[in-house]
Chains A and B, each alone.
Chain A
Amino acid sequence: MKLDPKFSKLLIVINCSVPGAIMIYDAFRHQLGVNPVEFALRTTGLLALIFLLLTLCITPLRRLINSNFPSHFRRTLGLYAFWYALAHMMIYFIFDRSLDLNSTIEDIINRPFILLGSLSLLLLIPLAVTSTNGMIKRLGAKRWKMLHKLVYLCAILGVVHYYLLVKADKFQPTIFAIVLCVLLAYRLLPARKKPARLVTA
């Protein structure tokens, strides 16, 4: 019942959209605080990073509870990371750069942290596009898995982007960096018990 994968996926899909939905609702009610653009930019960025890190938690979780069940959520979490990252970039382009392509490109070239963030989003695009079952079949499990190793780079770029952009209080970005290091280090450990082979869906 509750552990039914279909219901569990619905649970995850709905809940991942809650922060975005509340933000949109608040935006229409002009309740995003004193500097709404800054709030929306900061929050979508954090959400993108959080969901990216959550996708990296799936494998450790699988090994920890010795079950493949968490794999059902990885695609959803990853896609939400992509959507929040895309929203983050759109808010920046529309409200911070006022739809000025020239000044956006200038920003990307002149400010390393924006370059790294843009790169992270760019690399998430092929991952989002190839996330469907159809795509997995077309690429084949082996090539698909290789491509999706890009998520490690996306996460690293995202965390560095956050660290560099913060003016002085590096506490939160440092926490994200530590969590990321732990999640990446986990993958360097040999798997103790190999879980049943599963084509992640």
Chain B
Amino acid sequence: MANSIRSREITPESVYLSRRNLIRAGVLAGSVLATGGLYRALTRGAPPRNDAPQLASVASNSESTGPSPYDTDETKTSFESITNYNNFYEFSTTKEAVADVSKNFVTKPWTIEITGLVNKPKTFGLEDILKLVQSEERVYRMRCVEGWSMVIPWFGFSLSRLIERVGPLGGAKYVAFTTLLDPKQMPGQNDNVLDWPYVEGLRIDEAMHPLTILAHGLYGKELLPQNGAPLRLVVPWKYGFKGIKSIVKIELTENQPPSSWNIYAPREYGFYSNVNPKVRHPRWSQATEQRIGEGRRETLMFNGYADEVGHLYAGMDLVENF
């Protein structure tokens, strides 16, 4: 039996070893490709979208020409960054995934109910609102409570113009906002991360301040779903989560309205949530921030809008009313 194999048939050791090395090299290479592929698959967000429809009337219908006095001249954050890094839990809790999950979100037709302590409560179509007000570009800093920030060229109008139109009654002390509730389009609303719909609120003087805008465009183009299309609030001296997105209802109230993050964690997210480097957050020190596309920098009081809004809080304890 052992004699049936001729000695010249035995594979030479050198050939055996080189074949073995070849197989091993192949296995090693294959495993590295597999591990690399797994790493890529688990860490890549969806590829960024680069398209956005043009605004129906890109030209500002505001009487003033040139940049707004409220603009900052700091370097604007790239369109790609602004539209692919979003906290919008209604769609996904992964910032890089919101753009893809929200891409089929329907924003036309869109109605906004203006109600509460106003003279003429009414449900408007968005187009009707845009005809009533003057929109212009506003380049604002945006500071997220998580410790990063952007400079965003919004296109929108002062909230005060809309409120003046409906005539606030004397007893109106606050403005409450509500986001759309539609779990079919907004899959995140099927989870209980936050209570839905998302709600936010401002004191009436904060709402009437010229800095406070309702934005419907970005970089001269219509707002994309991930940025809160078709209409969202921007209050640049407060942490970004106060900028409620995809608004369907604005209500003037006598009592302080609920805010979703404040409901979720009252010790972390206050009603005012003014950007304040001196008020420590339990989770993040707020003294510095990561400017997207740049580096770390000091956080400014009221996000650098202290001159414009500081007076609203004169005499208030900003640690207690955080």
Contact = CB atoms under 8 A, between A and B. Distances in A.
Contacts of A11: 27-28, 31
Interface stretch (A31-39, A58-66, A116-124, A140-148): A31-39
B280 interface: yes
B290 A35 contact: yes
B292 A35 contact: yes
A18 B32 contact: yes
A168 interface: yes
A37 B290 contact: yes
B264 interface: yes
Contacts of B96: 33-34
Interface stretch (A106-114, A129-137, A155-163, A189-197): A106-114
B89 interface: yes
A102 B146 CA distance: 21
Contacts of A67: none
Contact of B36 (A18, A103, A168): A18
A167 B133 CA distance: 37
B311 interface: no
B283 A1 contact: no
Contact of B283 (A96, A165, A171): A165
Contacts of B24: 1-2, 7
Contacts of B84: 34
Given A11-B27, A22-B40, A33-B96, A169 B193 contact: yes
Contacts of A18: 32, 35-36, 39
Contacts of B146: 167
Contact of B280 (A14, A96, A110, A167): A110
B181 to A, nearest CB: 18
A14 B292 contact: no
B55 interface: no
A34 B264 contact: no
Given A15-B31, A18-B32, A168-B89, A107 B45 contact: no
B278 to A, nearest CB: 13
Interface of B: 20, 23-24, 27-28, 31-32, 35-36, 39-40, 43, 45, 80-81, 84-85, 89, 93, 95-96, 146-148, 191, 193-194, 264-265, 280, 282-283, 285, 287-288, 290, 292, 296
A106 B285 contact: yes
Interface string A1-37: 1100001001100110011001000000000011101
Interface of A: 1-2, 7, 10-11, 14-15, 18-19, 22, 33-35, 37-39, 43, 95-96, 98, 103, 106-107, 110-111, 113, 165, 167-169, 171
Given A43-B43, A96-B296, A169 B32 contact: no
Of all A-B residue pairs in the complex, the 4 with the closest CB atoms, nearest first, are A34-B85, A169-B93, A18-B35, A15-B35
B204 to A, nearest CB: 29
A111 B81 CA distance: 29
B193 A168 contact: yes
Given A35-B148, A169-B193, 4 more contacts: A11-B27, A33-B96, A34-B292, A111-B283
B285 A107 contact: yes
A16 B24 CA distance: 17
B132 to A, nearest CB: 35
18 contacts: A7-B24, A10-B28, A11-B27, A18-B35, A18-B39, A19-B39, A22-B39, A34-B85, A34-B96, A35-B85, A35-B148, A38-B290, A111-B283, A168-B89, A168-B93, A168-B193, A168-B265, A169-B93
The interface centre, meaning the residue of A18, A19, A34, A167 with most chain B CB atoms within 10 A of its CB, is A34
Contact of A2 (B27, B43, B264, B296): B27
Given A95-B296, A103-B287, A168-B264, A38 B193 contact: no
A19 B35 contact: yes
B39 A167 contact: no
Nearest to B85: A34
A97 to B, nearest CB: 8
A33 B282 contact: no
Contacts of B290: 35, 37-38, 96
A168 to B, nearest CB: 5
Contacts of A1: 20, 23-24
Given A33-B96, A110-B280, A111-B282, A169 B35 contact: no
The interface centre, meaning the residue of A96, A165, A171 with most chain B CB atoms within 10 A of its CB, is A96
A103 B193 contact: no
A7 B23 CA distance: 11
Nearest to A10: B28
